[in-house]
């Protein structure tokens, strides 16, 4: 099978990549729109869509040139077609369809969450790629879910957040601490200067059955603590709050991962891989704690390199390869879907 071009435009990264049938990355490029959205303290959907439209053609041209390929050398074109911000999804998927039509190539409508889920199957992370089934802990800005990944298009939700996503909690607490946007990385940085035992924040859901998560009570506790301290926190006080909050999140995630691994073993006795994905999986304390939690249950943690945890097009191209080699492609009528839960995908027969 020939290589696949992947396009990612679901949020604020304009990304393109070419991946071959064996999962080798022939070229990849991510253009972050951080500077465009920073003045507003969050992603502005209209600005995101317009920025994708402006930069995507050049991004694709550049990526194809770096791979040394023309469109005729491709086996297909894959684009994130949901879930995400509708403007960006339309830009990316329609652009991909245009290339597909002009070159007689199959088009693959990739689910962004499945792309994160299948990243672990790229060779190099696990010898030969992670075999199904494995447990996925997806921790991004919009999603926090525990999922049994049993095949392409086969995802069984074991649990997830009942309120905020993990990344959302990091972003909201970072905002309270007046840190730069995006909050997650900034909070991790300042937390290194703080004492994680200085504040006793709650650990919501800990030791409850199942693997559901909740972060809104923790976020409220942080807000109340900051109000008690007063309006003008010193850098040390902010670092202490950040470190204590991060420690609470780490404890919650470790506990939930242990429960999820037990559920996974009950349902899929041979399973022994815990895969972490999504932007929050870039956090070193979280990666370290999840590795320990995995080892305590006889699992191995698979954490993709940080550049492949946050949004990128390598994962989209790879999801395209996985689907195409099973004979699956999508109609050019496929409409981008702002909401597209993983467990609603149709299983692709293997």
Q: Which residues bind Zn ion (CB under 5 A)?
A: 140, 311
Binding-site member from 76, 141, 196, 204 for ligand KG4 (CB under 6 A)? 141
Q: Is 310 in the site for ligand KG4 (CB under 6 A)?
A: yes
Residue nearer to ligand KG4 on the CB measure, 17 or 99 = 17
Is the peptide bond prior to 87 cis by the omega test (within 30 degrees of 0)?
no
Nearest to 316 by CA among 152, 130, 108, 125: 108
Instruction: Quote the least distance from Cβ 319 to Zn ion, whole Å.
Output: 12
Q: What are phi and psi of 7, to 5 degrees?
A: -130, 130
Instruction: Give the full edge-to-edge strand order of the sheet including 25-32.
Output: 25-32, 13-19, 4-8, 76-82, 107-111
Q: Which stretch binds ligand KG4 (CB under 6 A): 89-97, 98-106, 279-287, 339-347?
A: 279-287
Binding-site member from 69, 282, 313, 330 for ligand KG4 (CB under 6 A)? 282
DSSP annotation string for 20-67: -TT--EEEEEEEE-HHHHGGGTS--HHHHHHHHHHHHHHHHHHHHHHH
Q: Is 93 in the site for ligand KG4 (CB under 6 A)?
A: no
Task: Count CB neighbours of 234 within 10 A.
Answer: 9
Quick check: 318 and 120 in contact, CB under 8 A?
Answer: no
Instruction: Quote the least distance from Cβ 184 to ligand KG4, whole Å.
Output: 2
Residue nearer to ligand KG4 on the CB measure, 95 or 181 = 181
Instruction: Quote the least distance from Cβ 119 to ligand KG4, whole Å.
Output: 11
Quick check: 121 and 102 in contact, CB under 8 A?
Answer: no
| 185, interface contact from Zn ion, ligand KG4, none, CB < 5-8 Å by kind | ligand KG4
Q: Is 8 in the site for ligand KG4 (CB under 6 A)?
A: no
Instruction: Quote the least distance from Cβ 244 to Zn ion, whole Å.
Output: 27
Q: Is 311 in the site for ligand KG4 (CB under 6 A)?
A: yes
Residue nearer to ligand KG4 on the CB measure, 76 or 141 = 141
H, E, C per residue of 160-217: EECCCCHHHHHHHHHHHCCCCCCHHHHHHHHHCCCCCCCCCCCCCCCCCCCCCECCHH
Q: Is 188 in the site for ligand KG4 (CB under 6 A)?
A: yes
Residue nearer to Zn ion on the CB measure, 8 or 255 = 8
Q: Is 252 in the site for ligand KG4 (CB under 6 A)?
A: no
Q: Is 4 in the site for ligand KG4 (CB under 6 A)?
A: no
For binding to ligand KG4 (CB under 6 A), which residues are involved?
11, 140-142, 167, 170-171, 182-185, 188, 278-280, 282-283, 310-311
């Amino acid at each position: 099978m020939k290589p696949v071009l992947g396009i990612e435009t679901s949020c604020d990264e304009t990304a393109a990549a070419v991946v071959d049938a064996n999962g080798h990355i022939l070229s990849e490029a991510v253009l972050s729109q951080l500077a465009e959205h920073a003045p507003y303290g969050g992603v502005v959907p209209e600005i995101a869509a317009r920025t994708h439209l402006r930069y995507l053609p050049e991004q694709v041209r550049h990526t194809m040139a770096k791979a040394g390929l023309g469109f005729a050398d491709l086996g297909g074109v894959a684009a994130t077609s949901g879930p995400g911000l509708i403007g960006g999804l339309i830009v990316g998927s329609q652009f991909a369809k245009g290339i597909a039509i002009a070159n007689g190539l199959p088009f693959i409508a990739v689910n962004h969450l499945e792309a994160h889920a299948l990243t672990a199957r790229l060779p190099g992370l696990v010898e030969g790629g992670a075999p199904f089934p494995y447990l996925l802990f997806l921790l991004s800005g919009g999603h926090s879910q525990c999922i049994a990944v049993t095949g392409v298009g086969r995802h069984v939700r074991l649990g997830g957040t009942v309120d905020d996503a993990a990344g959302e909690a990091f972003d909201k607490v970072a905002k309270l601490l007046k840190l730069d946007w995006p909050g997650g990385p900034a909070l991790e940085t300042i937390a290194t200067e703080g004492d994680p035992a200085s504040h006793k924040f709650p650990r919501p859901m800990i030791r409850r059955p199942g693997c559901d998560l909740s972060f809104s009570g923790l976020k409220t506790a942080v807000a109340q603590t900051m109000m008690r301290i007063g309006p003008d926190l010193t850098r040390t006080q902010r670092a202490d709050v950040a470190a204590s909050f991060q420690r609470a999140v780490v404890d919650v995630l470790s506990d939930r991962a242990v429960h999820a691994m037990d559920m996974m073993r009950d349902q899929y006795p041979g399973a022994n891989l815990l895969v972490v994905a999504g932007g929050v999986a870039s956090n070193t304390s979280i990666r370290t704690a999840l590795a320990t939690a995995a080892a305590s249950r006889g699992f191995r943690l698979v954490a993709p390199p940080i550049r492949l945890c946050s949004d990128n097009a390598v994962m989209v191209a790879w999801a395209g390869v996985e689907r195409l080699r099973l004979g699956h492609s999508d109609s050019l009528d496929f409409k981008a879907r702002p909401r597209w839960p993983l467990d609603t995908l149709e299983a692709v027969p293997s």
